[in-house]
Amino acid sequence: MRKWFLPIVLLFLLSSCERSLMPEDPGSSPQANFESLVETVGNKYSFFQIKNINWEQISAVQRARVHSNMSDEELFEVLDTLLYQLRDGHVNLVAPFDLNRNWSWYLNSPDNFDEQILERQYLGSDYRIMNGFRYRYLRDSIGYIHYSSFSSGFSERQMDLLFKYFAEAKGLILDLRNNGGGSLNNTYRLASRFLTKSTTVLISDEKTGAGANEFGNAVSIGLSPIGNYHYTKPVMLLTNRRCYSATNTFTAISKSIPHFYHMGDTTGGGGGIPIDFELPNGWRYRFSATRSFTPDGFNIEMGLPPDSAFNLDPLLLQQGYDAYIEEALKRLD
């Protein structure tokens, strides 16, 4: 046994020394990770122009902070700071020890939504619930729907039941306030219930190169009526700044539906579809790589302005009334 012990130990020590003298993989250095992100975002991010962002300039500022001996936490903070300047709620950076915070697009805007007043004054105790939908008839045969998230799925049978229920309503209030988005598929399926014919509702393209105007692969998105029940009488669409992503897209689609009237606050935006990438060190990140426009060419990234813009009335709130719903009821009466 002793005859073999020494060679094995020496072999282990030599092997360990060899590993310790080997240089680190340059592909996983802080500099390599930083440059990988900068190049990919520079080539693929779709909203530099509309947001007036000079990517080279802000990247240069953060590049000066990157060095070989920085910790993972320090590198994460640099990349997080850089990505935050895109001012985009569809941007994320994920490391094993942290997730960056989304840009909070709504913080400087009024809430324009009061859950307690909605429940006490309008929904009451006898409303119906279906997945993310709360709905009932309000006074004078006017229907009311609050949909909390496009992440809440539904079947076509459920949509038939919902719109059959409102078949006799002379008008409908569709309240999407505080709906932060979710599935675009749910957006298209709900919007189709308000159509009377096949309609082009959006035009989208994607960033294909580093140049400011290098976009391609444009597609027109058309929807057709689906299901057995549809609603084609007047609809009052209510939004606030927390209406983001898929909800922003639904609002854009509504601009192509003649019997929709959009009230309240400008939506929060989020008109690009995010795509995912991986850094050399294994961290994941995503950002918007497409653009969407209404058929008349309006870029929806910064939000959709309403046909009638106003905020909740503080005096009415004190009295227990929601000015958005009250104005919608007045217009539908």
Phi then psi for residue 185, to 5 deg, are -60, -40
Average pLDDT over residues 49-53: 96
More reliable by pLDDT, 68 or 15: 68
Average pLDDT over residues 34-45: 97
Confidence band of 20 (pLDDT split at 50, 70, 90): very low
Average pLDDT over residues 9-26: 40
Q: Extract the tokens encoding 80.
A: 């997080």
Q: Extract the tokens encoding 108.
A: 């400087």
Confidence band of 140 (pLDDT split at 50, 70, 90): confident
CA separation (Å) from 145 to 27, 130, 137? 53, 10, 9
Rounded distance between C-alpha atoms, residue 19 and residue 294, angstroms: 58
Confidence band of 8 (pLDDT split at 50, 70, 90): very low
146: β partners: 134, 175
pLDDT at 10: 34
Task: Say if residue 290 is exposed, middle or buried (CB neighbours under 10 Å; 0-12, 13-18, 19+).
Answer: buried
Q: What integer best gives the mean pLDDT of the chain?
A: 92
- Going by C-alpha positions, the residue among 175, 180, 189, 112 that lies closest to residue 138 is 175
Alpha carbon dihedral 252, 257, 262, 265, in 10-degree steps, equals: 0
pTM tops 0.85, yes or no: yes
